[in-house]
Structure 1
Amino acid sequence: MDTQTKMASAVRTGFVTKNRAAVSLLFLMNGFLVGCWAPKIPEFAERLQLSKFQLGLMILVFGLGSLTMMPIAGAQIARHGSRLVVQAAAFCLLPILLALTLAPNIATGAVSLFLFGGFIGAMDVAMNANAVAVEKSMRRAIMSSCHAFWSLGGLIGSGLGGLLIAKLGVLGHAELATLLAAIFLGVAWPMILADPPHPDERKEKARLPLVPLPWLLGLMALFSMVPEGAVLDWGALYLRQELDASIALSGFGFAAFSLTMAIMRFAGDLVRDRLGGVKTLRICTLFAIAGMLLAAFAPDAETAIVGFALCGIGISNMVPIAFSAAGNIPGLKAGIGLSVVTTMGYSGMLVAPSAIGFVAEHIGFTVVFMALPVLLVVVLLFSNLARYADGISGGGH
């Protein structure tokens, strides 16, 4: 480890290292597989003859898999380091897309979907923990660009998915997607940063932290991800139903949001290195609030799309900053802090969309989008906690 530490400090001025390339590829692979699943859902539902309600339950099974495996991954990272856990989770994830494609009945489909959600979630915690370790070794922020690679992977997976299914069929698509994911993992595998825990940490029992800080950061991640989930799942429907957008135009809400989010995630690390975590988070949150309010009060679809684009600029770096801070909590292992924050954050993405749908059915989306900035105001109130994200640049807390 001594030589590795020396190497890490020697390259801290470098912008791209092998470790950074590896963790970026892991984020790309994870996002790509999630993106590949989205266009398969209609065929999956048809093959297993699922009603809308049953499909909703199946998607909930995916979420339950994630929420079950994320804390387990956090505990294993505390014991074995993130490298081993991310390799194991990514390796186990590879065949699941094929399993989902070949599942002959509801029972095998549900098990496959639970495992898919589980290994996606476990890999998510581990790759975020590895990104924190790489940030520390490089002494520079990389978390935002890692999440940009996840967004890029999702965009490639979902963008090509429909075309490939039409050309190659569902099995051909699953085989090609699995092969590409295996290539991403194969290239990353030897370069993943090893971050073994200290011997005294290994003996310590893994348990939920009793200090409030990870839970407060988890709340920040949750309140940042609920608006993200709302735009992703309901933005198009809001534009179509309440602002009379055409089908083509209604798709631009999510596209504008995704585009500004991906661009700002690639720029986010440079901004954060310059301004620090707290100031960056405050600026981002103000952009997100302004964007969400503009979308809510928009007189037409075009104005709402501009609002969603502003919202994407804001939300882009809120979650990466919360994750970086979670991995740098003084006196708490990165894996434990991250598993709390990622689990709370992603539970917002999983639970909120159905709750929002229920509320919107009764009072409309306009009221929902007007209410969401309240969550972002809470993030603003807690923004001082983002100072822990800067633990990477000074080598201490």
Structure 2
Amino acid sequence: MFLANGFVVGSWSPHIPGVAQRLELSEFALGLLILCFGLGAIAAMTVSGQMVARFGSRRTLLLFALPVIAALPLVLAVANVWLAALALAIFGGAVGGMDVAMNANVVLLEKRLGRAIMSSSHGFWSLGGFAGGALGGVLIERVGLYPHALAVAVLAALVVGLAYPMVMDDHGSTPSAVARPAGHSQGRLPRRAAIYVIGAMAMLCLCAEGAILSWSALFLQKAMLADTATAGFAFAGFSGAMAVTRFLGDSLRNRLGAVATFRLSGLIAGLALAVAGLATEPWVAIVAFFASGIGIANMVPILFSSAGNQPGIDAGVAMSVVTTMGHSGLLLAPSIIGFVGGLFGLGPVFVGLAVMLGAVMLLAGKTASADWRPAARFDAVAADVTG
């Protein structure tokens, strides 16, 4: 399911220039249009968390996965800017709602298995995004925009159709995973401050990710006079390192624990971003961005697991809070960083982000709840034996 979600989102990226050309949009207007995607995602995340609390993550996952499948052809079918804005808001809402439900289901599955799988799940999202983006440009040139969108919908439907029957039902998890704490009300925002601290940590981590996504190539071009091809290696290295590290992250977390893994990840990411911001040669910055991908890769997955395991809070509601706060950072950071970078330069911005990740690393103790509890594993084994 993570693979399908990432594949559809990655496949949308190569369509952006074509949509801008067809609707005759300026860069400013295109930016506002793309903002509708992010706003739709943020709005749907809260709704999805409430639905998970009421109906369970499995059913909610299907309800949002179906519009994700149809979203890309829908966006390409619209004839004017206003309909495109509505279609993109629906697209973003479906992707964001599916994101919350997927992560909530992984939290339950981690409790049942007694080990971490969140980072690997996010690794499949990164793999899907890479495949969608890499294949999209090639297929669009060969078959055209709309045939490509239909092909993406068919492939996504195939993956979802194969995966969904194997998605764990919430009622099939351990009793401790689904039990409601006394006095808990489904769908309400939690009152525990810890969940908002975790959400703020996710927001700062995703700020760094958004900064590298949007500004690393321009940083190499303007500060180091790198050519376009060389500058492109900055984010490519970051993205590739992050995808690979996410598949290795669960093994590391199972061995070291969430707190130590998060602290080590933050240290690597902070030092790497500081080197990137102070670099004077393109190859140094590229290696530094690659290393920052290794560090950042597992920070957000650990925070998601920690959110879903907070005592006294429904996993779906907790996930909606943390994903909404986190993705708001991913959405807002590029524009804010552009303004600050225009005043002080992008190098100091990346150094500032390194300091910010250092502060996040000092809060690593907040991720202790991400580690599975022996009692949960015992309950899971007992349920398997008796059931």
TM superposition score normalised by structure 1: 0.91
Shift of 1:392: 5.0
Report deviation, 1:211.
Answer: 0.8
Please say if 1:264 is aligned against 2:264.
no
Q: Which of 72, 83, 95 is the aligned partner of 1:97?
A: 72
Amino acid in the other structure paired with 1:171: Y
Asked if the contact 1:80–1:202 (Cα under 8 Å) also holds between the matched residues in 2, the reply is no
2:297 counterpart of 1:277: no
Partner secondary structure for residue 247 of structure 2: helix
Q: Paired residue for 1:295?
A: 276
Matched letter for residue 218 of structure 1:
G
What's the offset of the Cα at 1:76?
0.6
Distance 2:147 2:78 in 1: 15
Aligned-pair distance for 1:222? 0.7
What is residue 379 of structure 1 aligned with on the other side? 360
Of the three residues 142, 150, 158, the one matched with 1:183 is 158
Structure 1 counterpart of 2:148, from 173, 182, 200? 173
Deviation track 1:237-295 (CA, whole Å, cap 9, x = no partner) reads 11111111111110110111111111110000000000000000000000001110110
Match of 2:308 in 1: 327
The alpha carbon displacement at 1:203 in A equals 8.6
Distance 1:259 1:376 in 2: 20
Partner residue, 2:175: none
CA–CA separation in structure 1 for the residues paired with 2:71 and 2:331:
20
CA contact (8 A) 1:140 1:392 kept: no
Judging changes above 3 Å, is the alpha-carbon distance between structure 1 residues 200 and 366 closer, same or farther for their aligned structure 2 residues? Answer: closer
Task: Compare 341-350 and 357-366 and name the one that shifted more.
Answer: 357-366
Residues in 2 aligned to 1:318 and 1:154: alpha-carbon distance in whole angstroms: 19
What secondary structure sits across from 1:395 in the alignment?
A: helix
Opposite residue 212 of structure 1, the aligned amino acid is A
What root-mean-square deviation, in Å, do the aligned CA atoms of Structure 1 and Structure 2 show? 1.5
1:47-196 → structure 2 map (5 Å cutoff):
47-196=22-171
Count how many residue pairs are aligned between Structure 1 and Structure 2: 371
d(CA) in 2 for partners of 1:392, 1:60: 40
* Counterpart among 153, 161, 185 of residue 204 in structure 1: 185
Q: 1:83 to 1:205 in 2, by over 3 A?
A: closer
Deviation at 1:361, TM superposition (A): 2.0
1:321 Cα offset (Å): 0.2
Q: 1:200 to 1:304 in 2, by over 3 A?
A: closer
Aligned mates of 1:93, 1:380 — CA distance in 2:
34
1:22 aligns with none
1:34 to 2:9 alignment:
yes
Q: Percent identity?
A: 46
Which residue number corresponds to residue 385 of structure 2?
A: none
How far 1:362 sits from its partner (Å)? 2.4
Query: 1:328·1:392 contact (CA, 8 Å) conserved in 2?
Result: no
Higher mean displacement: 268-277 or 193-202: 193-202
For 1:133 and 1:210, the matched residues in 2 are separated by: 22
Quote the Cα distance in structure 1 between the aligned partners of 2:62 and 2:191. Answer: 29
Contact 2:238 2:289 in 1 (8 A): yes
Give yes or no for contact 1:292–1:308 (8 Å, CA) kept in 2: yes
Counterpart amino acid of 1:145? S
Superposed CA offset, 1:101-126 (max 9, x none): 11101111011000000000000000
C-alpha distance in 1 between matches for 2:373 and 2:139: 41
Contact 1:136 1:393 in 2 (8 A): no
Code of the aligned partner of 2:66: F
Deviations 1:40-95 (A, max 9, x none): 00111111111111111111111110111000000010111100000110012211
Q: Is the 8 A contact 1:78 1:201 kept in 2?
A: no
TM-score scaled to structure 2, two decimals?
0.93
Kindly indicate whether residue 353 of structure 2 is the aligned counterpart of residue 363 of structure 1.
no
Q: What amino acid maps onto 1:228 in structure 2?
A: E
- Structure 2: stretches of 5+ with no match in the other structure: 172-177, 378-387
Structure 1 residue aligned with 2:224: 243
8 Å contact from structure 1 (residues 327, 333) kept in 2: yes
Give the conservation status (yes or no) of the 8 Å contact 1:239–1:250.
yes
Q: Specify the code of the residue in structure 2 equivalent to 1:43.
A: G
Once the two structures are TM-superposed, the CA of residue 374 in structure 1 deviates from its matched residue by 2.2
**Does residue 343 of the first structure (1) align with residue 318 of the second (2)?**
no
Quick one: which amino acid aligns to residue 25 of structure 2? L
- Structure 1 unaligned regions, length at least 5: 1-25
SS at 2:135's partner residue?
A: helix
For residues 323-375 of structure 1, the C-alpha deviation after alignment (integer angstroms, 9 at most, x for no partner) is: 00000001111001111111111111001011111221222111111111122
User: Could you tell me how far 1:391 is from its partner in structure 2?
Assistant: 3.0
Contact 1:85 1:123 in 2 (8 A): yes
**Distance (Å, rounded) in 2 between the aligned partners of 1:354 and 1:39:** 21
- Indicate if the aligned counterparts of 1:70 and 1:125 stay in contact, CA closer than 8 A: yes
Q: Is 2:266–2:361's contact at 8 Å kept on the other side of the alignment?
A: yes
Q: Is the 8 A contact 1:28 1:149 kept in 2?
A: yes
| CA distance in structure 2 between the aligned counterparts of 1:205 and 1:130, rounded to whole angstroms | 17
2:235 paired residue number: 254
| Alpha-carbon distance between aligned partners in 2 of 1:378 and 1:289, rounded to the nearest angstrom | 9
